[in-house]
Amino acid sequence: MLARGSDPPEPPGGLRPRSFVTGPEPLARGSDPPEPSDGSRPRSFVTGPGPLARGSDPGRGEARAWIRAGLLLAAWGLAWSVLAIWIIVPHFNPMHHYPYWGDGGVVGPGGHPSVSALVHQLTQAGHEKLWTTFLILLPVAFLALRSPVVLIALPSLALRFVSTNSYFWGTGWHYDATVMPIVFLAAVDAMAAFRARSLRRPAPARRRAMPWLPAPGEAVARYGAAVMVVIAGWLAFRFPLDTLWNSQTYVITPHVSAADAAMARVPDGVRVEATLTLLAPLAARDDTYWIGTYPNPAPAYVVFDEDNSGWSPPPANVLTFVEQRHPGWSYLRIFADDGVYVFRRVGRTGG
């Protein structure tokens, strides 16, 4: 018998007596409760408030949803690319065609595609293309190579490297900008995979002879981002970025003042043709064309900077050069200072 208010004695072997709390079966100390016979799971803070049907896998369903969303996004992007290449760009192009088809070489219009010709075109200037690839992967410490996400960048790189336009191969222009977000996401995915694998590994297996030295996967997960920051700091003092730290970059030279004064002579809302360094300021307020493209519609104004014209040597007579580019029109020079010129269209010629 038990005295009133006393607890029943613990059974031998650590078993608990049957009760409405523990259920009809005794539980060994430290053991998990039995799975219900219908295959469902009890409510808990882990599985959520409701039972799961037998055979269901929420992780697999979520993966299918992400795959469907990814395929839909890829199809959407491909459709808009086709629309831009075949309809939008030719509509606004003065010659009503997509001008970059001409950079395709053996795979462009009029080319004679063959495997050997394509390989030759792809490997042309191979050292420069390898250097570009190296610099694309360097900011993420090459971790992007451990993720399948990086494969998304391959079509863009392949199209650029197969092109006959050498500007696409190097690092002097902006053509890597569309690839870098993919590379960064691939690096994040790789670090997440390293962290997940290190957490799945049993604790004794993760412990090494020197506890302060983490396993390689754990080291990548812990310090990968810090390594990227160090590399980015090193790169910030090289290539064109190093001009940010040069005080001469921020000096307003007479040539810059001349360029500002020249652009001030061009009214808003007109068609203007300009050299490369003057395009962006003018494009904010005018219908602007790069002078390196031929043929352009005859502009109302031409702004020419012979120090940054793209011609080497620059034209000896800029007015004659402008009128030869636009036959049938005459232009008048209205500004000239430190090698920067502005010409205004004044009427038609007899030609």
DSSP string, 177-215: TTTHHHHHHHHHHHHHHHHHHHHHS-HHHH--SSTTS--
pLDDT digits (tens, 9 = 90+) for 166-205: 889 888 888 889 999 999 999 999 999 988 887 776 655 5
Predicted pLDDT at 46: 40
Predicted pLDDT at 351: 52
Predicted pLDDT at 219: 82
pLDDT digits (tens, 9 = 90+) for 103-138: 888 888 777 888 888 888 888 889 999 999 999 999
pLDDT digits (tens, 9 = 90+) for 203-242: 555 555 556 566 667 788 888 899 999 999 998 888 888 8
Average pLDDT over residues 92-109: 84
pLDDT of 157 above 60 = yes
d(CA 137, CA 146): 11
Predicted pLDDT at 37: 53
Q: pTM, whole model, 2 decimals?
A: 0.66
Rg (CA), the chain: 34
Predicted pLDDT at 210: 57
> Which candidate, 193, 121, 183, 119, places its Cα nearest to that of 156?
183
pLDDT digits (tens, 9 = 90+) for 55-88: 556 678 888 999 999 899 989 999 999 999 999 9
Helix 115-123 vs helix 154-162: crossing angle, to nearest 10? 100
Average pLDDT over residues 252-264: 95
> pLDDT above 70 covers what percent of the chain?
78
SS3 52: coil
